Structure 1
């Protein structure tokens, strides 16, 4: 389904009364924001993770076929989306033993879930060959990111191209000098100073 078709279906749902104007605006905003910024941020967080783990970076350079699995691990290890959006309760609810009154909200830490030692062996270690890798970087269930396949392809292409065409790609500043974007839900850098040996 193309973007035009998706937007057309959303507008038609609003016209039928299945979505309110506010819900339509929110969905379109989420599609636009979630479709660009997180992938851009994920490229920088993935590169930083690789720079901080030179043995894994060398492993990926030596075996480009590892890239699809490496992208999954980089998404798990340091995701551009650290938290879900807020979930509001329309009725009093019990959430794993905690009473949540109607109108209150919860937010889930995806980065904490992706480092859960009950789900991942040695979760604080970057292992580009990790399998299985049931990370939650794209959410889960009805909230699973509809753009996950596109994001995966973009990350594989971007990282694969950078590593193949810029031998010796490395961080050009001290780690402490990396300027992170202050944000509530996401994680990334406004720019990433990097150097390389040559261009291919």
Structure 2
């Protein structure tokens, strides 16, 4: 279990006692706390070393993590928090997968669980450096109060550490639609560890 996974495990309120017995879960962190934690981890990850060519060559496999989508509409952004499930295929030169299981913060402390997914389609690995990848992302998310369609754009990312143990990606997408409002800008940030 990596450091990020352990931190997330504890943040979700689970621990074991010294005697090996389970301690009752504490209250899960608020939506805002989870997003703030992701933002801090995302910023920290972007400061890590990029994978070298030798490490990239053995980076194929499954990666799991978290994603945050923000939709900009003049005021405070609408924020969606979800799970990332990606596959790095070095032979095929792609990073692909899906972003799903999203929750949206509504007014006050109300949250809405969303249906649908954002599909990540890999384009290439090793663009300007061995560790860099480019993927497209598309899809829709819906709920009782939410109707979101991601616009057009590109996810730029990097494979991190030697040996490769994680990846980070970010992208800006134009012409997104949220609840009947068109022409919005969205950002997608992804952070995932190798399984």
Do both proteins adopt the same fold according to a TM-score greater than 0.5, normalized to the shorter chain?
no
Relative to the length of structure 2, the TM-score reads 0.25
Relative to the length of structure 1, the TM-score reads 0.24
Query: 1 or 2 for the larger relative contact order (CA 8 Å, sep ≥6)?
Result: 1
Write 1 or 2 for the structure with the bigger share of helix: 1
Write 1 or 2 for the structure with the bigger share of strand: 2
Which structure has the larger Rg over C-alpha atoms? Answer: 1
